[in-house]
Amino acid sequence: MNDAYLKFVNSPFGGRLARSLGLPKPEVLRRYRADRPEFGGLIAIGAGREPRLLDAFASFIASVGMTSVAHESAGLWVPLATRHGLMTGRFEPAEAGSPGKLAALLFDASGIDDSSLLEPLHGFFHDTLRSLGKCGRIVVLGRPPEACANPRQWTAQRALEGLVRSLGKEARRGITANLVYVEAGSERGIEATLRFFLSPRSAYVSGQVVRIAAQGALAHDAAAFDWRQPLAGRRALVTGAARGIGAAIASVLAAEGAHVIGLDIPSARDALDATIRQLNGSTLAFDIAAPEAAAQIAAALDELGVDIVVHNAGITKDKTIAKMTDAAWQSVIDINLSAQERIDDALLAAGILRDGGRIVAVSSISGIAGNPGQTNYATSKAGVIGRVQSMAPQLRARGITINAVAPGFIETQMTAKMPFALREAGRRMNSMSQGGQPVDVAQTIAWLAHPGSAGVTGQVVRVCGQSLIGA
Amino acid sequence: MNDAYLKFVNSPFGGRLARSLGLPKPEVLRRYRADRPEFGGLIAIGAGREPRLLDAFASFIASVGMTSVAHESAGLWVPLATRHGLMTGRFEPAEAGSPGKLAALLFDASGIDDSSLLEPLHGFFHDTLRSLGKCGRIVVLGRPPEACANPRQWTAQRALEGLVRSLGKEARRGITANLVYVEAGSERGIEATLRFFLSPRSAYVSGQVVRIAAQGALAHDAAAFDWRQPLAGRRALVTGAARGIGAAIASVLAAEGAHVIGLDIPSARDALDATIRQLNGSTLAFDIAAPEAAAQIAAALDELGVDIVVHNAGITKDKTIAKMTDAAWQSVIDINLSAQERIDDALLAAGILRDGGRIVAVSSISGIAGNPGQTNYATSKAGVIGRVQSMAPQLRARGITINAVAPGFIETQMTAKMPFALREAGRRMNSMSQGGQPVDVAQTIAWLAHPGSAGVTGQVVRVCGQSLIGA
């Protein structure tokens, strides 16, 4: 952890000092550890009228072994939970004086079809938010607005975004708040996504809106998998894997069971070997800027094929545009964007990326919001968003998903070199008041690469602690 | 103007002090004044390969009387401009030493269909940005990504967003940068939008992405109009018109020729009368929270009908959700969102809002990004975005457009009462380093209400000086 301030204010003396001076006190985020239980504690359930997803919740909660309590808005929950053999009780607002009692808040807003029916959301979060513990989880589920039958329903569902983003900014204390739009018919496909957003794996993902599509062809290859080793038997190509975020991605995918093929430029071969050796993976040393690299990568992967492609390799060459050379513009666009296109085209045309596969591309908050001094980088990263949005429909028939993650301020060697004031602003201007870790990006990618994420495609998920900065 | 700092740093002494202390020096923005020429000066033209919109530019530039210079990227421009009878020359990069020479930069990226072809954008802005004067205008035109023929083209067009948003943040000095996606076949419909984004009217609108759809049915009632009085003969309902932003909207629409019907609650009748009297408009005093109000408004407008509806009325009742009463939640959702639905339903069902009409709803940056202490307000304003997106397709056949504006920090009586630190943060955290004025919101609404904006529908345009804050 590079954040000395975070350590300081969470020491006994530092904490007292921060309190007396009114300084921000970022929470030490709880992150996933293989040696600790991933789920546990009490989850409060709330619902609007005619909730459609309670059954899907119940089987999820049963499978992870949490205990539920029903808010008065979710009157249907108790009999339903009992049918599923779940431990359950009623949430008593009187206990709101007992902070930290709850581990998660889950609200089913799927049946709300008019703006005048949004009130149960207020009732639920009004009653429960203070009882949610540190690093707690908030998930609201609704229906994709654009798939709604009429403008009133679309409007009510779209309104949920404003609520969830506000809750994330209001809750603080390491709490995340996310909105999942579940298309009718995709209920069976929500478990991998619910697990991610309720797990410590999503420690630095907040204020996000994710859609789960009815899977149809996408369910293609979802086959059976083991929740403890969901990527077992799968081969994952990770570009830029030698160091930093790429190395974290390789490590998390390997921990989930994948055979990782780490790729980096020939000059980083030693670091790449060191990173990948401990994961029992294999390595490829190519410069993806070279026109022939895509064909070479395809040839190298041809025999065994690949199931997951993570486009992580990227460079920055920051300068104001008036001072930016043509070479600095071109190389950033080429490596961060065009090379991804060339590699995917080669792997897809030859069927090397198998049906049911996963593509995850690394975009950036700069690609969403723009950034001074990064016209080249922001253009390339906005293009990555276009890639994901444009290719998702085309890849559907083959059951392949394509998504992007957009990191915010992540603590790396690169950010450690930033000027102090800029670094501190980037670190603090988010709902967690701290930078993220490479593993936060990696865990998000692992969720998107999951066989259970077949319904998640064409999306951009920020890993930014709900940064204030956006478009 | 409430911004004492802005006045101070633009005084001779304040300017020297700000320079020596390294303080930000926000520009005094040039705004539209009826007694000054709206357009003038030199506009530099750049283009990617196979630009499709140069003809449309040429007729626009001819109509407003600017003088163009062609960047080397736009080799086709000189002969074409000459055919249109335009004064034109070549942009010489050697003159980049003469800052302030240019009033606007216009780039036609419509023909760029691969990420490897983005370089001319770098060449153009590299050469010209330093020559752009204070309060200059940058407009990039492309094709809507989602309408592109293939993923490569979609990706390249989507990449433009990252560039334009970065340029806006880099340029400073009161310069705006916006991206207009022009659907093939809608070229005739770009003039009203180009005028807005190149005019002082868009002083506080930057970093925005707007789409112009091929008009078809939308062109319905665009008929002939006078650019100097485009709303002449049109009747405009403005809710919340007594004061603040609503009064500014009423005033700008009246100046553009509309007959304004100002609506406000009965208790604001005196202020409403005073505001509307000087505009020779008419008034309606209703409480839109009352269930019967929509029908009463429809009845009051029935005889003469209405062409433009501006849903500006709104309230805030800020509290953290744990402390927010049910009444505070309900009244904000009802007045800011449900009342808009009731009024539009009544006006549309009875045909009182005429074919070819315009609906503009006021959303908010809080509805996009969420805001702590504003769960109710942000939910209502996110719902407004849903309203616009859901109703636009339905209203197309009648030639009615519906759009939203999302103000950022606008200097009003409300913001004047904010705590100092919060107010200063809101004011400075944008590319203009200052708050906007009510007239900035009003001018944006006037553009959307314009008969020439028939191709602009279902969109959300922020009036925020390109605030850092977003989703």
Report the distance separating Cα A123 and Cα A126, nearest Å: 5
The two beta strands, A67-70 and A88-90, are parallel
The pair of structure tokens assigned to A249 is: 């991605």
In a domain, A371, yes or no: yes
pLDDT of A97 reads 55
First-to-last alpha carbon distance for chain B, in angstroms, is: 29
Contact B471 A469 (CB under 8 A): no
Both B316 and B434 in a single domain?
yes
Last residue of a domain, one of B212, B244, B267: B212
The pair of structure tokens assigned to B318 is: 């800020």
Q: Name the stretches of chain A with pLDDT < 70.
A: 1-2, 94-99, 216-223
Longest dimension (CA), chain A: 67
Both A267 and A344 in a single domain?
yes
Both B273 and B136 in a single domain?
no
From A75, A156, A142, A387, select the one nearest B157 (Cα to Cα): A387
Of the CA atoms within 13 Å of residue B75, those in its CB half-sphere come to 4
Q: What is the strand order of the sheet B235-239 is part of? A: B282-285, B259-264, B235-239, B306-311, B353-362, B401-407, B460-463
> Closest to A370 (Cβ–Cβ): which among B152, B166, B390?
B166
Report the distance separating Cα B375 and Cα A160, nearest Å: 10
Both A35 and A162 in a single domain?
yes
Both B431 and B451 in a single domain?
yes
Q: In this predicted complex, what is the ipTM?
A: 0.96
Give the pLDDT confidence of B236-293 residue by residue, as tens digits: 999 999 999 999 999 999 999 999 999 999 999 999 999 999 999 999 999 999 999 9
| CA-based nearest residue in chain B for residue A462 | B471
Contact B122 A329 (CB under 8 A): yes
Both A103 and A136 in a single domain?
yes
Contact B46, B73 (CB under 8 A): yes
CATH number of the domain residue B68 falls in: 3.40.50.720
Is 90 exceeded by the pLDDT of residue B29? yes
Chain A residues within an 8 Å CB radius of B375: 122, 125, 162-163, 166-167, 170
DSSP letter for each residue of B62-94: HHHT-EEEE-TT-TTHHHHHHHTT--EEE--GG
Both A130 and A111 in a single domain?
yes
Both A198 and A303 in a single domain?
no
In a domain, B378, yes or no: yes
In a domain, A389, yes or no: yes
pLDDT band for position B223 (cuts 50, 70, 90) = low
Both A191 and A240 in a single domain?
no
In a domain, B2, yes or no: no
Ramachandran bin of A185, using left for φ above 0, alpha for ψ from -120 to 50, beta for the remaining angles: left
pLDDT of A98 reads 66
Chain B residues within an 8 Å CB radius of A387: 151, 155, 158
Percent of chain B with pLDDT over 90: 83
Q: Is B377 a catalytic residue?
A: yes
Q: Which amino acid is at B471?
A: A
In a domain, B471, yes or no: no
Give the pLDDT confidence of B175-220 residue by residue, as tens digits: 999 999 999 999 889 999 999 999 999 999 999 999 999 876 455 4
pLDDT of A166 reads 98
Both B156 and B55 in a single domain?
yes
In a domain, B199, yes or no: yes
From A377, A397, A341, select the one nearest A218 (Cα to Cα): A397
In a domain, A471, yes or no: no
**Closest approach of B166 to chain A, Cα-based (Å):** 4
Q: Which domain holds residue B107?
A: 22-212
From A462, A444, A441, A360, select the one nearest A401 (Cα to Cα): A360
Chain A residues within an 8 Å CB radius of B124: none
Best probe of the A interface among B115, B344, B384, B457, by most A CBs < 10 A, is B115
**Closest approach of A342 to chain B, Cα-based (Å):** 10
How many residue contacts between A and B have a Cβ separation below 8 Å?
Answer: 266
Contact B122 A337 (CB under 8 A): no
Chain B residues within an 8 Å CB radius of A149: none
Q: How many domains, chain B?
A: 2
Contact B176, B198 (CB under 8 A): no
From A460, A455, A450, A470, select the one nearest A388 (Cα to Cα): A460
In a domain, B180, yes or no: yes
**Closest approach of B393 to chain A, Cα-based (Å):** 10
On average, the pLDDT of chain B sits at 94
The pair of structure tokens assigned to B170 is: 């880099």
Last residue of a domain, one of B177, B192, B212: B212
> Closest to B162 (Cβ–Cβ): which among A116, A159, A370?
A370
Helix (H) or strand (E) holding B425: helix B420-428
Chain A residues within an 8 Å CB radius of B471: 161, 165, 207, 470-471
Ramachandran bin of A305, using left for φ above 0, alpha for ψ from -120 to 50, beta for the remaining angles: left
- Please, which residues have CB within 8 angstroms of residue B5's CB and are 6 or more apart in sequence? B26
Both B161 and B267 in a single domain?
no
Longest dimension (CA), chain B: 67
Q: Quick one: chain A helix, strand, coil %, rounded to 5?
A: 45, 20, 35
Give the pLDDT confidence of B10-27 residue by residue, as tens digits: 888 888 877 777 777 899
Of the CA atoms within 13 Å of residue A406, those in its CB half-sphere come to 32
- Please report, for residues B238, B296, B401, B459, the alpha-carbon distance to residue B359 in angstroms, rounded to integers and kept in the order given: 10, 19, 6, 11
Report the distance separating Cα A153 and Cα A80, nearest Å: 26
The pair of structure tokens assigned to A55 is: 């059954």
Last residue of a domain, one of B158, B177, B212: B212
The two beta strands, A88-90 and A102-108, are unpaired
The pair of structure tokens assigned to A188 is: 């069976």
From A135, A102, A122, A153, select the one nearest A26 (Cα to Cα): A135
pLDDT band for position B77 (cuts 50, 70, 90) = very high
Contact B375 A338 (CB under 8 A): no
Report the distance separating Cα B47 and Cα B121, nearest Å: 8
Both A345 and A208 in a single domain?
no
